[in-house]
Amino acid sequence: MGILGGIVLAVLVIDTVALCGLILIQRGKGGGLAGAFGGGGVEQAFGTRATTLAQTATAVLAGIYLLLSMVLGLGLGMGRASAAAATPKPEPPASTGPGQAPVPAVPSTPKDAK
């Protein structure tokens, strides 16, 4: 995966945790999980105008998540494809016609030539 892949993966994990936390503290139309824990966390902390800020931040984090997922997936997929292309394929053995004996791969020495 390499260093760059590790960095992208670390940023993706951080983005995922931030996105989950941001989604959970928002108040949904039905109250959601934020209502179960005592009210609308974002509105209490930042005021009612912060709802648009939370929605914007959620959209931005979701876009970053999508982009990083695609970069990571395509990067790993191309790494496998290039490694598979670089691996030489074994050649099939030479076919022999009917009535011909196969030729040995290693030449043999006569037994009486000592």
Q: What are the tens digits of pLDDT across the range 82-99?
A: 555 666 667 666 665 676
Query: Which tens digit of pLDDT belongs to each residue from 35-55?
Result: 556 555 555 555 555 557 888
Q: What is the mean pLDDT of the chain?
A: 74
Q: How far is CA 6 from CA 16, 64, 81, in A?
A: 15, 16, 19
Burial string for 19-37 (b: 16+ CB within 10 Å, else e) reads: beebbebbbeeeeeebeee
Is the per-residue pLDDT at 70 higher than 80? Answer: yes
Q: Where are the beta strands (DSSP E) in 1-114?
A: none
Domain definitions of the chain by residue range: 2-80
CB neighbour list of residue 11: distance below 8 Å, 6 or more residues apart: 68
